[in-house]
Amino acid sequence: MAIPDQAFEQAEDHATALREQGHAVAARYDDSRARIVIELSNGIEIAFPPHLAEGLAGASADALADIVITPTGLGLHWPKLDADLYVPALLQGVFGTKRWMAAQLGAAGGKARTPAKVNASRENGRKGGRPRSRAV
């Protein structure tokens, strides 16, 4: 499949604009703080715990320390984990695919204990709990 010249030029322009906002120039795993640390071209340094990112949770320090920055500086790759993260997405607080992020947010939301949920649960318990499923 051939890529039209115009589409290729648009993609190059988009990548250039993203790089101007800041791209990775260094990345490392700081074992003492248990954080991935990324230094950007604009002087910003970001750090996050590996368990927040898709594909990095539960990995050994040795695997986390092996980080490859893509030639554009817009991507990070962990060869030992076969994991990739997109630097512009990290800056927006996106640490994985939409599906993975939705699962993480859903799990956190299900654990939320608001006064409304507590009251609803108590009221449901007073009524005998959840109704049994009925075969149709």
Structure pTM? 0.66
What is the tens place of the pLDDT at every residue in 12-56?
877 777 777 788 999 999 999 999 999 999 999 999 999 999 999
What are the residue boundaries of the structural domains of the chain, listed by start?
5-96, 97-131
Q: Which CATH topology does 5-96 take?
A: NE0471 N-terminal domain-like (3.30.2020)
Class of residue 27 by CB neighbours under 10 A (exposed 0-12, middle 13-18, buried 19+): buried
Burial of 85 (0-12, 13-18, 19+ CB in 10 A): buried
What confidence tens digit (pLDDT) does each residue in 76-116 have?
Answer: 999 999 999 999 888 888 888 778 777 777 665 566 677 88
